[in-house]
């Protein structure tokens, strides 16, 4: 990051008012009567209604359009364990994105503990305030325990975006890229460099979409995760492959797909050359990918490459998923975000990528044209159609899978 960009980032967060979110009023508060309705004595009436039937909270409060973004700061972006307070700018940023892209009110909560049990108890006790909970920047493997326990204890959607948001957007881009390359996910050999929360969620979702577990090679810092390897936690063990491959060079040879969720410059040109014809490379380490697109494309001209960066084509960006997934879940009062809803979001993203791109999106991206192909496998975040495509797909999947608590309106078409 340049000195100028660093200073601009600091100024953006400090000026004209510190932070990125604020609270706004939705009802008048100008007269004595307004205040008597907003607070005492009028507020007693909705309190009584909610005490009689908790579902009335959705009618008389903002619960149904309120998401908490919660972290303990143990895995902040690619910066590591910075602590709860240092994660606050990221959590505020997530709240900004919820509002900007899906009209969802969101507040950030930073929990000062690294103990999973304490974190779970804290969040579970405040969950009734919200319509949904977005967990963020919590290190593995604790993040798996935390999410699982909160899903069990809470009756609202609990979604760890570092896991499932990344997985949904990655899977959508990969399905499209494989189609362009003339391949099927059912046949693809996938090498995944990284074995953290995002990597495990990505591989799980690919299997839900048809990938074969025996075709997936996952690597951590010690190499390939294989059957019989000692020191492998329960979550990694799920992807232990029966193989004699041990290194990345071994695992990448002949692979159709490389998914990198690890670190900079770990995929060499020689490794890339050893992949199968027409490979797909997702080099998603930020800010520096596992292989720079310029180097990858200079090494071979038959590949499709995606990164996590906005200054290259095919950005894998979680904002393509979580605002719209929560919008659909909230609007049918879903009790969870399940696998069916995630798969529905993947297919909605894939379908939109195949449609003509509107001029307003081209203008926002500063390009003359975009069309489904090697440099456009996934929609752009500025595409306003995302809300109208993903939210209904997710809401329908919630209804059909039995986790929705209200019916989907026939004319359901969310807008900002």
Residues with a known catalytic role: 39, 94
Distance set, CA 57 to CA 47, 133, 192 (Å): 9, 17, 44
Q: Is 250 within 8 Å of 229 (Cβ atoms)?
A: no
Question: Is the CB of residue 393 less than 8 Å from the CB of residue 348?
Answer: yes
What are the phi and psi torsion angles at 266 (to 5°)?
-95, -15
The tokens describing 81, both together, are 């364990």
Output the CA–CA distances (angstroms, integers) from residue 381 to 189, 294, 315, in the order listed.
Answer: 29, 23, 9
Which residues in 60-81 are b (16+ Cβ under 10 Å) and which e?
eeebbbbbbbbbbbbbbeeeee
Largest CA distance in the chain: 77
Sheet holding 105-110, edge to edge: 105-110, 66-71, 132-135, 158-160
Q: How many helices (H) and strands (E) in the chain? A: 17, 10
R_g of the chain computed on alpha carbons: 22
Rounded to whole angstroms, how far apart are CA atoms 57 and 66? 12
Q: Tokens 């399940």 label which residue?
A: 338
């Amino acid at each position: 990051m340049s000195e100028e960009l660093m200073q601009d980032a600091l100024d953006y967060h400090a000026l004209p008012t510190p932070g990125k979110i604020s609270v706004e009023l939705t009802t008048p508060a100008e007269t004595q009567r307004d205040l008597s309705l907003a607070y005492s004595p009028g507020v007693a009436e909705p309190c009584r209604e909610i005490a009689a039937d908790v579902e009335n909270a959705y009618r008389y409060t903002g619960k149904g359009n309120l998401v908490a973004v919660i972290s303990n700061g143990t895995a902040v972006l690619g910066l590591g364990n910075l602590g709860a307070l240092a994660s606050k700018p990221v959590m505020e940023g997530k709240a900004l994105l919820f509002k900007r892209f899906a009209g969802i009110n969101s507040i950030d909560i930073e929990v000062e503990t690294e103990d999973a049990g304490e974190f779970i108890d804290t969040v579970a006790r405040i969950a009734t305030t919200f319509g949904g909970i977005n967990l963020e920047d919590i290190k593995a493997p604790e993040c798996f325990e935390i999410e699982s326990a909160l899903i069990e204890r809470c009756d609202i959607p609990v979604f760890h975006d570092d896991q499932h948001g990344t997985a949904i957007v990655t899977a959508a881009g990969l399905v499209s890229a494989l189609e362009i390359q003339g391949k099927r996910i059912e046949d693809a050999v996938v090498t995944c460099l990284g074995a953290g929360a995002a990597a495990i969620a990505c591989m799980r979702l690919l299997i839900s979409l048809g990938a074969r577990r025996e075709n997936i090679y996952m690597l951590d810092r010690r190499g390939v995760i294989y059957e019989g390897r000692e020191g492998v936690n329960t979550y990694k063990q799920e992807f232990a492959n029966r193989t004699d491959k041990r290194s990345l060079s071994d695992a990448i040879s002949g692979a159709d797909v490389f998914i990198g969720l690890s670190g900079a410059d770990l995929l060499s040109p020689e490794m890339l050359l050893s992949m199968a014809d027409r490979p797909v490379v997702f080099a998603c380490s930020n800010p520096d990918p596992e292989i720079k697109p310029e180097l990858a494309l200079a090494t071979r001209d038959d590949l499709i490459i995606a990164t996590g960066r906005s200054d290259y084509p095919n950005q894998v960006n979680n904002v393509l998923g979580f605002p719209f997934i929560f919008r659909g879940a909230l609007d049918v009062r879903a009790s969870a975000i399940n696998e069916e809803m995630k798969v529905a979001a993947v297919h909605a993203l894939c379908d939109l990528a195949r449609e003509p791109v509107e001029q307003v999106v081209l203008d926002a991206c500063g390009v003359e044209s975009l069309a489904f192909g090697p440099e456009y496998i996934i929609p752009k975040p500025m595409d306003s159609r995302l809300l109208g495509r993903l939210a209904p797909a997710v809401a329908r999947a919630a209804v059909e899978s039995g986790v929705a608590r209200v019916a989907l309106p026939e004319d359901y078409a969310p807008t900002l």
